[in-house]
Structure 1
């Protein structure tokens, strides 16, 4: 196998959390995906609805709480920035910071378990 080629692909994005069902419900509403059947108090999943929707998201209960800034976060791109700001806030996202540059705006949010993510428009 060529050292620069890879046979790997992203199967899922796993998010450690205190309440998998609630966090999967939040992200399902954010991304327009249903929570997959079989969600429990320990695990919940959002399946990818099509290749453009991104990877599967897996929510796993862990005993410890979040203590530091996440090192990986989602960047969500929209053409309807102001409407999405309002929708995400209604769903329970907390705006943390907004930055504006010519032609670019983005807001950093925290989800219900304080995981950060960004909403961008260009």
Structure 2
């Protein structure tokens, strides 16, 4: 029996404010109270009452370069509408793909974290 009860997606950040504001704007969410230069969250951290993961932003002095071992996939029923919005908020578009019955665009957030926006292809 699993004892895990919540999930948070954690970002190491050079600039906690920029990262948390970017993701809050993109998701139409609010930054949780208590945010500061070292830590911020969206959707609560260790929130056992939510069925969706919280997002945690932690200050680091330097980033470890390389491929992200984890990235976020965002479902956009009106794809690609939110791709343009993400770019206007500071994301960088890397490429668009259409495979396996799914269409998506891969982007980088302002600090280079990869994420995808897409949807299942319409029949």
TM-score range, shorter chain: 0.7 to 0.9
TM-score when normalising by structure 2: 0.86
Quick one: distance in 2 between partners of 1:59 and 1:102?
Answer: 32
Quick one: distance in 2 between partners of 1:66 and 1:114?
Answer: 11
Q: Is the 8 A contact 2:12 2:63 kept in 1?
A: no
Q: Which sections of structure 2, spanning at least 5 residues, go unmatched? A: none
Q: What RMSD over aligned residues (CA atoms) do the two structures have, in Å?
A: 1.9
Distance change in 2, residues 1:12/1:102 (3 Å): closer
Match of 1:121 among 108, 113, 119: 119
Distance change in 2, residues 1:11/1:85 (3 Å): closer
More helix per residue:
1
Quick one: distance in 1 between partners of 2:72 and 2:104?
Answer: 12
Quick one: distance in 2 between partners of 1:102 and 1:11?
Answer: 27
Counterpart secondary structure, 2:112: coil
Displacement of 1:32 = 1.2
The answer to whether structure 1 residue 67 and structure 2 residue 65 are counterparts is yes
| Number of the residue aligned with 1:83 | 81
TM-score when normalising by structure 1: 0.86
- CA-to-aligned-CA distance 1:20-64 (integer Å, 9 cap, x gap): 11100000011111011221111111125x835x21111000111
Large movers: runs of 4+ above 6 Å: none
Quick one: distance in 1 between partners of 2:42 and 2:21?
Answer: 9
The answer to whether structure 1 residue 51 and structure 2 residue 50 are counterparts is yes
Displacement of 1:10 = 2.8
Q: Which sections of structure 1, spanning at least 5 residues, go unmatched? A: none
